[in-house]
Amino acid sequence: MNQVKIIECPRDAMQGWENQIPTEKKITYLNQLLKVGFDTLDFGSFVSPKAIPQLADTAQVYEKLDLDGTPTKLLAIIANLRGAETALSFEKITYLGFPFSISETFQQRNTNSSIAEAYSLVEKVQNLCQKANKQLVIYFSMGFGNPYRDPYDVEIVANWAEKMANLGIKTIALSDTVGVAETKTISELFSELIPKYPSIEFGGHFHATPDGWRTKIEAAYEAGCRRFDGAIGGFGGCPMAEDELVGNIDTTNLFQFFREKGENTGIDKDRLIDCVKTSTDIFI
C-alpha cells in the first residue's frame, strides 16, 4: 500500500482572502510549513496580479523559503504560457499546477479560455516541463460535477484522463471546486480511474463545509486514493467560481483521519500544531 500523501495548500487558502497578508508573514508561515513533513507545499501562483492580487508577491516569497533539510516539494499554480515560463525559471519549484476544467463554463471563468484551448496549453506546458525536468500536475476542476448544467459523467472524466496520460502527465488531482461531490460519484470515479490508468497518480482536492468533509475523504480513500490536498484551518475556495464558497478540508482533520486508519503520512504532529497556532495570525 502506498503511503498517504498530504499536500498542504496555503496558496488556495490565501488566494481569496479579503485582507492583504504581508509578505513577511507569508514567508514565516511557509517556512514553518516546510518543517512539518508534507509531501508537497502548494505555496503560490504565477498568474495575473489583477486576477489574484493576494499572490502577486509569489516570486518575493520564493526567494526567502528555506528548503534545506525538508522533504517537502514546492508547487506553484499557473494559468497560461507566460506564467508557466516564469515558474520554470525558479529552480526549486518541482511542480507546476494547472487548473483544467471538466466544465466549459468554469474553464472560461477561471482561465478565460475554452476547454479545447486549455488542452492545447497543457500540451505546450507539458513539453516545457519535460525539457526543464519539472512535473506538471493537472487539476480537474469541477471534477465531480458542476452547478452550471454542463455535460458531466464518469466517462467524460475518464476520456480526459486518457488524453492526459497520452501526454505523459503523471499526476491528476480531481477537484471538488464548489463542494458538489457526492460520495457515490467519488467512489465511482476513483474506482474507475485508478486501475485504468496506472501511470497516473490520482489525488483528491475537496472543498466542504466543516461538518461535511469526512464522507468525501472516506469515499476517496476506500476507492484507492492516497493523495489528498488540505489547508490548515479549512480556509480557501476558488474566487473564480463566483458562487458561495466552501472551504478546503482542514489539514488537521486529514491528519487525524489517516492516523485512525493507521497510515503513515510523514507529518510531525507537534510542528503541525505550531502551524495551526501561527495560522491564527495569518488569517485575520
Which three three-digit cell numbers place residue 197?
A: 490508468
Indicate if the pLDDT at residue 278 is higher than 70: yes
Cβ contacts of 98 within 8 Å, gap of 6 or more: 77, 78, 79, 84, 118, 121, 122, 125, 136, 137, 138, 139
Residue with cell 490508468: 197
Each residue of 19-48: pLDDT tens digit? 999 999 999 999 999 999 999 999 999 999
Kindly state the average pLDDT of the residues 145-159.
96
Each residue of 123-145: pLDDT tens digit? 999 999 999 999 999 999 999 99
CATH code, domain with 248: 3.20.20.70
Cα–Cα distances in angstroms (integers) from residue 103 to residues 72, 153, 176, in the given order: 31, 11, 12
Kindly state the average pLDDT of the residues 254-271.
97
Asked whether 65 and 92 are in contact (CB, 8 A), the reply is yes
Q: Which pLDDT score, from 0 to 100, does residue 238 have?
A: 53
- The mean of the pLDDT values for the chain is 94
Each residue of 96-109: pLDDT tens digit? 999 999 999 999 99
240 — pLDDT class (breaks 50, 70, 90): very low
Q: Which domain holds residue 121?
A: 5-282
User: pTM of the prediction?
Assistant: 0.95
Q: Which pLDDT score, from 0 to 100, does residue 210 have?
A: 84
Tally Cβ neighbours within 10 Å of residue 191. Answer: 16
Cβ contacts of 214 within 8 Å, gap of 6 or more: 253, 257
61 — pLDDT class (breaks 50, 70, 90): very high
CA 160 remoteness from chain centre: 18
Q: Which pLDDT score, from 0 to 100, does residue 110 have?
A: 87
Q: How many domains would you assign to the chain?
A: 1
Q: Which pLDDT score, from 0 to 100, does residue 245 have?
A: 56
Q: Which pLDDT score, from 0 to 100, does residue 2 have?
A: 67
Report the candidate in 38, 33, 12 with the shortest Cα–Cα distance to residue 139.
12
Q: Which pLDDT score, from 0 to 100, does residue 211 have?
A: 86
